[in-house]
Amino acid sequence: MKVGIQAFLWLLIFFFSYQIYDSINGPINFNKVKNERYKKVINRLKDIRVSQIAHKDVKGYYANNFDSLINFIDNGIFTLIEKRDSSYLEYDRTYRIDMLKEVIVIDTLGFVSVKDSLFKVNDNYKMMSKIPIEGVEENFTINADIIDKNGYNVPVFEVKVSKDIVLFDQDTDLLKEENETISVDGVNGSDIVLGSLTEVSVNGNWPTIFDATQ
């Protein structure tokens, strides 16, 4: 009887010791995995951002799907221009004299491919729709639109992924807390988001610490 009680007490000790250990190390391990995965996701979103900005610069609007965006990178061309101030004399019929007119002259210097300009020999952009997390098969969600801002039609876009997808294999209670995060040094909300469909923005909802390194 005494041996059985001692064995039971040892089991209780081991159980509660593990619970204490897990309660301390669980959040530490969760945050480590979270930050590593967020960095991978955000770095890919940065590639999408520079690609979308280039698309808008050339075409005047953002791509609303990844096939179009990747095709643009493969085949798009930047026109290299130089702007310079100039002036000339023009006869003014009102004052009946020659008057100086100032203008901006735009010279075309040449052309360069979008791919060479943005990614050089790196072909990772071809996978930009994929969420770069092992075990995840889903793609980013991408949308683009034209919205009215103060009477002007303005192109906007948004790319996002749910934290539930990025952290699919992590502790559900810790993941729930992460989805409810509201912090100046955290990724707020339940999604990692680039851009906006309601505001003119090409920023992400992540803190600047993720912009410090690639």
Q: Report yes or no: 97 and 72 within 8 Å, Cβ to Cβ.
A: no
Same structural domain, 127 and 100: no
How far apart are the C-alpha atoms of 185 and 32, rounded to whole Å? 15
Query: Residue 196: what pLDDT?
Result: 97
Using alpha carbons only, give the angle 122, 127, 178 rounded to the nearest 5 degrees.
Answer: 115
Whether 20 has a pLDDT exceeding 90, the answer reads: no
Burial zone of 94 (CB within 10 Å; 0-12 exposed, 13-18 middle, 19+ buried):
exposed
Digit-coded pLDDT (tens) for 23-68: 557 788 999 999 999 999 999 999 999 999 999 999 999 999 999 9
Q: Are residues 83 and 172 in the same domain?
A: no
Pair (157, 201) in one structural domain: yes
In the chain, how many domains are there?
2
Residue with the bigger pLDDT between 35 and 109: it is 35
Question: For residue 128, what are the domain limits?
Answer: 34-76+121-211
137 and 188 share one domain: yes
* Domain contains 17: no
Give 138: exposed, middle or buried? Use CB within 10 Å, 0-12, 13-18, 19+: middle
- Cα gap 194→118, rounded to integer Å: 19
